[in-house]
Amino acid sequence: MDKATLKREATQWRAGYYKGQRNWSAAHHSSIYGSIVCSVVAGALLQIKGMDAGYAAVLTSIAAALSSAAAAGGFQRKWRSNRLSRSRVDGLLIDIEAEGADLPRLARQLKAIIAEHDREVVRDEGNGSAAADPPPSPAAPGQPADKAAAPAP
């Protein structure tokens, strides 16, 4: 793999991780802070004399749904994983530009970053273990078997 190809591949993965970082961050923070705001407003509504408690009940239900979605979806874990992977690829891109860069080693490093990202995303939060690595997908005709697939946010 030549320098331009490795740089292009790393840049594509970086773009995917950055997109995932932004999207999972939005999902995580919206659900967490949305839940807090709904809970606080529901509590305030219950303190107002003559206010229908139905509004507070709806807001409390929304808060519970947002909290549950954040926890079940693993938004924070996915946000952090994308952020860390993006940062690792940033460092790799700097190394690629270095004089006398060891391109085969850097290509292996990119593959390791991709694999680590996948392990983080599928990690079982209950016991801290990672799910088994999925079997490698077959290479397309004319493509080396170790060629990475398109980035997964």
CA 46 – CA 44 distance, rounded (Å) = 5
Question: What is the pLDDT, as a whole number, of residue 123?
Answer: 80
The predicted structure's pLDDT at residue 125:
58
| Residue range 10-49, pLDDT digits in tens | 999 999 999 999 999 999 999 999 999 999 999 999 999 8
Mean pLDDT, residues 83-91 taken together: 96
In the prediction, which pLDDT does 147 show?
Answer: 45
| Of 66, 77, 67, 95, the residue nearest 21 (C-alpha) | 77
